[in-house]
Amino acid sequence: MADIALILSADKYAIPDAQGVVQNLHQVWMSNEYRVSSDTEKGCKPMKVMVEAEVFNNIMKHDLPGLFDVDVKMRPGKGNALAATVVGFKFIGVPKIFPSPAAIAAAAARSVPAA
């Protein structure tokens, strides 16, 4: 199953467990277009997803935020309820959400009144 997602950030953590063994964790914050708007909620809610080191390393090769084709596999979860596991991301592109530093500087220069 595939879906398109906007990956907002990717983070790597090294956390010792109860026995002192360091666990390397790779976390991705992403959002997709799934959302039913109502009078009390609107917009895309971000989701935290843990990924394998290889998947994390592939994501880190690209600029973020970025659009990715997400490969999701279904599996039985707690109490045999449906759970989804992200098994891979394929880079699509970088959306132009925020202006570049050059565009910000140009806009600031235009807003300064001439002396």
Distance of alpha carbon 8 from alpha carbon 75, whole angstroms: 25
pTM of the shown model: 0.74
Domain coverage including residue 21: 2-35+43-111
Number of domains in the chain: 1
Gap between the Cα atoms of 58 and 28, Å rounded? 12
d(CA 109, CA 112): 6
Per residue in 2-13, pLDDT (tens digit) is: 789 999 999 999
Q: What is the CATH number of the domain that holds 47?
A: 2.40.50
> Over the stretch 25-36, which tens digit does the pLDDT of each residue have?
999 999 988 877
Query: Residues near 88 by Cβ (< 8 Å), separated by ≥ 6?
Result: 55, 58, 70, 71
